[in-house]
Structure 1
Amino acid sequence: MRWCLPAGLALALAGCGQVADISGAVAGGGAALASSNPAVGYAVGIGVRAAVSAGVSEVMKRRQGAEQDALATVIGALEPGETRPWQIRHAIPIGNQQGEVRLVRVLDNALAQCREAAFSVTGDATPAAPRQWFLTTACRQPEGWKWAAAEPATSRWGALQ
């Protein structure tokens, strides 16, 4: 059991991108040692990696949705040309974001009430970084204002996409 402490430290220091790989390797190695069968270890390792990867993806998706909802709520309260600060504070204080939102125009039509806004993103780790502005759209839904822009292949502004 001496390998548990280094494995735990490696897992803690790895970051979200490597958690699934390290968890799968540790679980697979432990299963292979316990069963004396490398095939069992391989199967357990792949299963654990897949489960942890799905869990991390779900957590990141929920955090992203909370960030988008925070921005959309502020966008819904703005008047054209008005600028206000926005922020998101997660329960686990990693990846908290903040910045400003400026309502660019209102896009009302018979189908939906939408608003186009420019926003900046500044994380807690880099509050003095140069400000970059991004454009998005939020539309009124029955449950409130929601993010309406889709940019799944764009990594230009990190986890908010």
Structure 2
Amino acid sequence: MRHGLALLLLLPLGGCGVAADLTGAVAGIAAGTATGNPAAGFAIAVGTRAGVQAGLNWAVRVRARGEQDAVAEAIGSLAPGEVRPWRIEHDIPIGNETGEVRLVREMVTPLATCREALFSVSDGAWFITSACQQGDRWKWAAAEPAVPRWGALH
């Protein structure tokens, strides 16, 4: 049990990347110790890790969708050649981002109205993306929203 507490205390040092692993390990050690059955401990560790990892993945997707929606809404409000700031404020104020959006072109087809724009993030990096009108809203339409080089927007 003391080993489990030690692992739990180390959790903040590793960040989100090891949260699922450590949580699974702590749950497995505790269950294996409590039941005296290593197989039960292993099964509980694997199940706990999978559940925690799924929860973390969901949270990351929700935050990324919020950031992408903020950029897309800013793109939708621009006139050709116009530059405007964009901003996202998360409910938990960690990773709030700001930047600028510059409309490059608009593509109107019978199927959709889309816009291509350059946007920056607070560290000064610039990227290109697309947003398409969906009803009265603009939504992120880029095919690669999860590449690591995007920093906070991955």
TM-score (norm 1): 0.88
- Single out whichever of 15-24 and 147-156 deviates more from structure 2: 147-156
Root-mean-square deviation over aligned CA pairs: 1.7
Deviation at 1:3, TM superposition (A): 4.9
Q: Which residue of 2 aligns with 1:141?
A: 134
Measure the CA separation in 1 of the matches of 2:93 and 2:142.
Answer: 26
1:150 counterpart = 2:143: yes
Deviation at 1:75, TM superposition (A): 0.4
1:60 counterpart = 2:53: no
1:98 counterpart = 2:98: yes
- Single out whichever of 64-73 and 3-12 deviates more from structure 2: 3-12
Q: Give the SS at the match of 2:149.
A: coil
Greater share of helix: 2
- Single out whichever of 41-50 and 88-97 deviates more from structure 2: 88-97
Measure the CA separation in 1 of the matches of 2:30 and 2:130.
Answer: 49
Query: 1:7-47, CA deviations, whole angstroms, 9 ceiling, x for partnerless residues?
Result: 33222332111110000000000001101111111000000
Number of residue pairs matched by the alignment: 154
Q: Give the SS at the match of 1:145.
A: strand
Measure the CA separation in 2 of the matches of 1:103 and 1:137.
Answer: 10
1:160 counterpart = 2:145: no
Q: Give the SS at the match of 2:98.
A: strand
Equivalences for residues 1-161 of structure 1 within 5 A: 2-3=2-3, 5-122=5-122, 129=123, 131-142=124-135, 144-151=137-144, 154-161=147-154
Q: Give the SS at the match of 1:157.
A: helix
Deviation at 1:143, TM superposition (A): 5.1
- Matched residue type, 1:20: A
Measure the CA separation in 2 of the matches of 1:153 and 1:76.
Answer: 22
Q: 2:26–2:45: 8 Å Cα contact kept in structure 1? A: yes
Structure 2 alignment gaps of length 5 or more? none
